[in-house]
């Protein structure tokens, strides 16, 4: 992340700046608003997983979550 921005998650505003990360539930509504200075950020997205451990196997054809399990 570079610069500053506001992420609105289910109507709750979260101020973010360089070095910050935000995890957003797949079911949450979200909006990203730039701050007073131009910003750049990385957005990573993946389908929701039914797995709650790294040893779980999702349905065939779905993306695996290997590592961070929200």
**Residue range 10-54, pLDDT digits in tens:** 999 999 988 888 888 878 899 999 888 888 888 887 766 666 666
pLDDT at 68 over 70: no
Q: What is the pLDDT of residue 37?
A: 81
pTM to 2 decimal places:
0.59
Q: What is the pLDDT of residue 52?
A: 62
CA distance 41 to 45: 13
CA distance 4 to 34: 7
State the maximum Cα–Cα separation within the chain, in Å, rounded to a whole number: 45
Contact (Cβ atoms closer than 8 angstroms) between residue 38 and residue 1: no
In the chain, where the domains are located? 1-70
Contact (Cβ atoms closer than 8 angstroms) between residue 28 and residue 57: no
pLDDT at 58 over 70: no
Q: What is the pLDDT of residue 27?
A: 83
Lookup: tokens for 32: 């990203």
């Amino acid at each position: 992340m570079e610069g500053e921005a506001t992420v609105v998650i289910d109507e709750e505003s979260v101020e973010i700046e360089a070095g910050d990360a935000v995890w957003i539930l797949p079911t949450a509504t979200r909006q990203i608003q730039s701050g007073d200075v131009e910003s750049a950020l990385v957005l990573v997205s993946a389908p929701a997983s039914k797995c709650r451990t790294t040893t779980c196997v999702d349905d065939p054809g779905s993306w695996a979550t290997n590592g961070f399990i929200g």
